[in-house]
Amino acid sequence: MRAHMLTALIIGMAMASFQPVKAAEGNATRDEAIAMVQRAAKHMTAAGPEKAFTDFSTKGGAFTDRDLYVVVYDLNGKCLAHGANEKLIGKDLIDAEDIDGKLYIKERVDMAKANKSFWQDYKFTNPTTKKVEPKEMYCQVESNLAICAGVYKK
| Cα 149–Cα 150–Cα 151 angle in degrees, nearest 5 | 145
At residue 153, the pLDDT reads 87
- Predicted local distance difference test score (pLDDT) of residue 25: 67
**pLDDT, tens digit only, all 154 positions of the chain:** 444 333 333 333 333 322 222 345 688 999 999 999 999 999 999 999 999 999 999 999 999 999 999 999 999 999 999 999 999 999 999 999 999 999 999 999 999 999 999 999 999 998 889 999 999 999 999 999 999 999 998 7
Which spans in 1-85 are helix H? 2-16, 30-47, 49-56
C-alpha span between 125 and 150 (Å, rounded): 12
Which domains occur in the chain, in start order?
28-152 (3.30.450.20)
pLDDT at 130: 92
